[in-house]
């Protein structure tokens, strides 16, 4: 069963479909052939602007967790062999500080429905009972419903465009990852010092190296998804990643200063 045909979902997709077409029509006089791509980028910006309050709460939670890092490390050292007691102690600490452990992934969760909708827009030939003309739109000859592997069968310049887009996404993801590491660096050092002071050995986290190795490459799953997703979804992901990089830098500076 195609869930895009269910009335509630079909209505949402049709509204998003008309929004993308409307933005593209407004941009057409000055953007020309780039209007369809600009429509996706502007849609992404609108979504991210709507999610600014969520991002603010995320950064505030990061600041609080940074401040709590020594206390968290001390609790983990104290209850190293008592996972249930540790969970209760962490819950009490988070509750007293009014911090949600899920705050760090809220922007991603909030964007998931939008990304899913954009994905659906460019894979269904029919939406809400009418033809999906978005599938006919292109950028530099690349259909918005195609992906990297489909582009391999087209002319070489189109392949370079898709690869270039994925490269921009990879750079944005890497810069964001490094910024996150720098932001968490001082807190990590303080946490390690507190853990050792509390009597925990420096290697008290078995498997930490393996976890760190996985975390190193986990963000790049976004790039892999962009390679197999419709070209329009890849444009959304790149725009969102670049926005995240700049937004996080600004919010961290403003909230920390405040």
Q: Of the ranges 54-68, 144-158, 225-239, which is most confident?
A: 225-239
Cα separation, 128 vs 111, in Å, equals 23
DSSP type of residue 144: T
Name the helix (H) or strand (E) containing 113: helix 106-121
Q: What are phi and psi of 123, to 5 degrees?
A: -125, -15
Cα separation, 138 vs 34, in Å, equals 9
What lies within 8 Å, CB to CB, of 149 at 6+ separation is 227, 228
How much is the average pLDDT of 225-244?
A: 93
Q: Report pLDDT for 166.
A: 94
Q: What is the DSSP string of 41-53?
A: HHHHHHHHHHTHH
The domain spans of the chain are: 3-257
What Å distances lie between residue 101 and 53, 89, 131, 210, 212, CA to CA?
Answer: 17, 13, 44, 22, 19
Cα separation, 158 vs 142, in Å, equals 6
How much is the average pLDDT of 210-227?
A: 80
Q: Report pLDDT for 6.
A: 81
* Tens-digit pLDDT profile for residues 195-212: 444 444 444 444 555 566
Q: Report pLDDT for 102.
A: 64
Q: Of the ranges 18-32, 103-117, 208-222, which is most confident?
A: 18-32
DSSP type of residue 131: E
Q: Is the pTM of this model over 0.75?
A: yes
pLDDT of 109 above 90: no
What Å distances lie between residue 47 and 118, 130, 165, CA to CA?
Answer: 12, 25, 20
Contact predicate 213/99, CB 8 Å: no
Residue 143's SS3 state is strand
Q: What are phi and psi of 97, to 5 degrees?
A: -95, 0
Q: Which residue carries 């964007």 as its tokens?
A: 111
Q: Report pLDDT for 101.
A: 63
- SS3 letters across 153-179: CCCHHHHHHHHHHHHHHHHHHHHHHHH
Q: Which residue carries 């899913």 as its tokens?
A: 116
Vertex 200: Cα angle to 194 and 204 (nearest 5): 110
């Amino acid at each position: 069963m195609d869930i895009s045909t269910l009335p509630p979902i079909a209505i949402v997709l049709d509204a998003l479909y008309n929004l993308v077409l409307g933005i593209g029509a407004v941009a057409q006089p000055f953007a020309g052939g780039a209007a369809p791509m600009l429509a996706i980028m502007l849609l992404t910006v609108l979504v991210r602007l709507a999610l600014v309050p969520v991002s603010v709460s995320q950064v505030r939670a990061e600041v609080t967790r940074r401040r709590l890092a020594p206390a968290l490390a001390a609790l983990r050292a104290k209850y190293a062999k008592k996972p249930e007691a540790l969970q209760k102690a962490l819950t009490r600490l988070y509750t007293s500080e009014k911090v949600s452990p899920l705050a760090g992934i809220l922007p991603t969760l909030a964007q998931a429905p939008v990304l899913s909708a954009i994905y659906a827009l460019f894979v269904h030939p029919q939406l809400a009972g009418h033809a999906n003309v978005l599938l006919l739109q292109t950028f530099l000859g690349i259909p918005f419903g195609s992906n990297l592997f489909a582009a391999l069968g087209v002319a070489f310049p189109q392949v370079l465009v898709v690869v270039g887009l994925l490269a921009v996404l990879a750079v944005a993801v890497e810069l964001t990852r490094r910024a996150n590491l720098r932001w968490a660096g001082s807190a990590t050092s303080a946490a390690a010092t507190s853990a050792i002071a509390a009597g925990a050995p420096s290697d008290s986290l078995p498997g930490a190296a393996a976890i760190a190795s996985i975390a190193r490459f986990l963000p790049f799953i976004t790039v892999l998804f962009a390679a197999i997703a419709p070209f329009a979804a890849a444009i959304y992901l790149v725009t969102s990643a670049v926005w995240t990089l700049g937004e996080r830098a600004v919010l961290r500076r403003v909230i920390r200063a405040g």
